[in-house]
Structures are given as structure tokens and as C-alpha cells.
Amino acid sequence: MAHEVTLITGDGTGPELASAARRCVDATGVEIHWDVQEAGVDVMERTGTPLPEATMESIRRTRCALKAPITTPVGTGFRSINVYLRQELGLYACVRPCKYYPGVRTFFERVPVDLVIIRENTEDLYAGVEFERGQPNTAELISTINRLSTDRKVKTGPEETGISIKPISVSGTERIVRFAFRYARENNRRKVTAVHKANIMKFTDGLFLDVARRVAQEFPDIEFEDRIVDNMCMQLVQKPDLYDVLVLPNLYGDIISDLAAGLVGGLGVAPGANIGENGAVFEATHGSAPKYKGLNKVNPTALILSAVLMLRYLNEKEAADLLERAVAEVIREGKYVTYDLKPDRNDPTAVGTQEMADAICRKIEELRTTAK
């Protein structure tokens, strides 16, 4: 069966990574019709927008996109394209597996880390409901808060105070928690852990926890527990093998997924998927690394593993397993890998982005031949 997929080439090192991932997917034999589209700072310089409407139209049509990294300016500039895509397309579930592959350098090689982070994508502080310091509407909001609140007030003035609103809803929480339990059931996972700060934020995180407990009763075959987010960070560093699927509000999910990626060797091996009712966008967890642009140096593993998630989403499970196994074996062998996957980062035998992709493609063919 042929599939049409939008390929967003991104900026910085994105085009190099997109090329590597595309070649690896094609090597599996799955028929993909790639609709190549642009987004990011490069296209913004030419067109005045970092996300052309043609790119959005393509994703809406194909309902499946593989997106290379895109730069998000810090503090200034355009808003995160990643966040916009999730909200505009209703991609409410962010799935970030964090799995150790032998050969990756990490302090946790002896611990069988195999976690899946399920992050709510559309609510929480990432909803973008913000009020800038020094603005009249910020002063009005602070005045309203201080008038309506009996015990908690904003004690600093509007000229020096910015405010972000944290919406957490019953419907949004039900949706993401059910997604986490269904994911656990469909992927033979044993436990779901809800992560929160309900001891402090009782009307937002408290709501998240209450709803999660209620939804958990619908899945008696899956173990359920909850953890306070700061304790969860300590638990993951001390004993990550006790955890399986974590479900979290947006901000905690972003932070915890980076922590979990650190357990298995870093963002270079951390894939991601953003899934909604009417489509999905697959992307590496890491950024665009613009300082390495055009150097054929960065590790393509995270985007290739994101393509593995994409293949599973497209119900091409055999091809997904084949591609993941090829990636794992190339990393385990350690010969044709990028500098960050070598025991010594200055190892002169390290290969480039495209050469590692070449090795994965060769490994796919080798595995197919062996299986015959």
C-alpha cells in the first residue's frame, strides 16, 4: 500500500537530517510518496513567514508528516512552529519513547531504561495565554486577580510583571490519559504513572490528578500510580527501571522527556510523535543545531527513529521493526556512527550524517537478505 507523507525539511541541520531519514524509510521498501515542504527561518527570510500555507495545506491533506528540526528563537522572534502545529492541527498527544540502545554512551548502560513519555500538547502554560509586562491589559488582569482572590495576590506591579495563564481542562485531561492507557494496552506496557504538582496547584494539577484517577478505573488491566513531578525527576535518575508509561501535562512532559532522553544517551537518540484525531506529525526531540548546518556532522538517529514511529502509525509494523533493528545494530557495532556515538568524541573514525544513514540502509538490506 502506498502512503502520501509530508516531509518538512526544516532549517539549520534539518535538510540534512530529512534527507537521511527519507533514504532510510525508502530502504525498507514501503512505498512513500513524499510531498516535500519548507518551514523555518530559511523560508521566512524569503517569504516573510516561517510556516507557509502550502505546508499547512499539505499536512491537512496527507494527515501524516515527518518534520525535521526547526529553530525556535529564544525570548524574541516568531512563536514556536512546533507548538503552533500541535495546536492548529489538534495534535494533543506527544509521544516520546526513551529507550536505551547498546552502544550509546550513557551513565545508565546497566539499567534497562525503556520509558514512554505521553505529554499533553495543547493546554497548560504552552497554551500561550500570556500578558506582557507594562501593558494596559496586564495591569487590568493583575487588578482583577487581586480583587477576586482572597488569599493569593500578585504582589508586584504591572510595570515589572509578566503573566502566563495555565489552563487545564477535564476534557483535555481525559483525552490524554485515555490515550496513555490505550497506548500501554496496545504496546504491552504494564503501568501508567500520572505526573503532577497537585500538592501545590490544586485547581489545575489537582484537576489533572483527579481526572487521571477516574480514567484509570476504565483500564483495570493496567497498573496505575501517580508521582509529584519533582519526586519523579529523582525517581527517574535513581531507579528508572520501575517506570513504564508516564502521562503528564504539557510543561512537565517537555522537561521530563529531556531528562529521560538523558538517561538513554541524549536528544540525539530521542524520537517524538505528535498525534491527534485527524493526523500526526513526527519529529526528533532535539533542535536544529544551526552551528552545524551544512557540515554533515550531526546524528540522524532521532529523526530516523521518529520515522519508525511514523511507520507504525501507518500500520507498516514490519518495516518499522526492520528499520529500528537496523538502527540498533549500526549503533551497537559502533563503526559507522557519528562523533557523539563514539566512546571518544574526537575519534577520527566517526562518520557523517549521510554516511551513518548509508550504513543503516545497508544494514536493512543485510537483515532482509538474512531473513529470506
Q: What is the DSSP letter of 32?
A: E
Residue 115 has φ and ψ, to the nearest 5°, of -110, 155
Catalytic residue among 92, 100, 101, 126: 126
Angle, CA of 232, 313 and 177, to the nearest 5°: 35
Q: Which helix (H) or strand (E) holds 300?
A: none
The CB density around residue 112, as the number of other CB atoms within 10 Å, is 10
197 is catalytic: yes
Set of cell numbers at residue 124: 497548560
Which amino acid is residue 131, in one-letter code? Answer: F
Our measurement of the distance from residue 363's CA atom to the centroid of its chain's CA atoms, rounded to an integer in Å, reads 26
The 3-state DSSP class for residue 274 equals strand
335 is catalytic: no
The 3-state DSSP class for residue 157 equals coil
Catalytic residue among 197, 297, 342, 363: 197
Catalytic residue among 35, 124, 205, 254: 254
Burial class of 255 by CB neighbour count within 10 A (0 to 12, 13 to 18, 19+): middle
Catalytic residue among 202, 230, 239, 344: 230
Q: Which helix (H) or strand (E) holds 233?
A: helix 229-238
254 is catalytic: yes
126 is catalytic: yes
Q: Could you tell me if 128 and 193 are in contact, meaning their C-beta atoms sit under 8 angstroms apart?
A: no
Q: Which residues are catalytic?
A: 126, 197, 230, 254
